[in-house]
Amino acid sequence: MSFAKIEFYGTFDTRHFCDWIGHRAHKLGLTGRIEAASSERITLYVQGQEELLNAMEVACSLGPIDADVSHTNLVFIDPADASDWPNRFQIDVGPEVLADRR
């Protein structure tokens, strides 16, 4: 099992992209959470097979049609530093963040 922090930079509809990310994580069998989201950057922490974490980065970089992802940053995390991982994919940002639209 691998752990990673993935950041997406660009211009997005925050609510739609967060929902889309959650759906893709579920389809890939990943667990984790979106920890920060704005219309220009989304940060998520994910857990799963390394190949699937890479696939998640690629899928989200291509994203939904209304997400213009300019670049991504994927950093693998030492499992010893990973704690409190949820057993499903969560969006931990508040409704005021998700209301932030492009």
Residue 69: pLDDT band with limits 50, 70, 90:
very high
Structural domain count of the chain: 1
Give the C-alpha separation, 87 to 17, whole Å: 21
Interval 24-28 mean pLDDT: 92
What is the span of the domain harbouring residue 15? Answer: 2-98
DSSP labels for 25-90? HHHHT-EEEEEEE-SSEEEEEEEE-HHHHHHHHHHHHH--TT-EEEEEEEEEE-GGG-----SSEE
**Per-residue pLDDT for 94 more than 90?**
no
pLDDT score, position 102: 41
Name the more confident of 61 and 99. 61
pLDDT digits (tens, 9 = 90+) for 73-93: 999 988 777 666 666 677 665
In this structure, what CATH number is given to the domain that contains residue 14?
Answer: 3.30.70.100
The answer to whether the beta carbons of residues 79 and 18 sit under 8 Å apart is no
Q: What is the mean pLDDT of the chain?
A: 85
pLDDT digits (tens, 9 = 90+) for 4-14: 999 999 999 98
**Per-residue pLDDT for 23 more than 70?**
yes
Residue 101: pLDDT band with limits 50, 70, 90:
very low
Give the C-alpha separation, 29 to 1, whole Å: 12
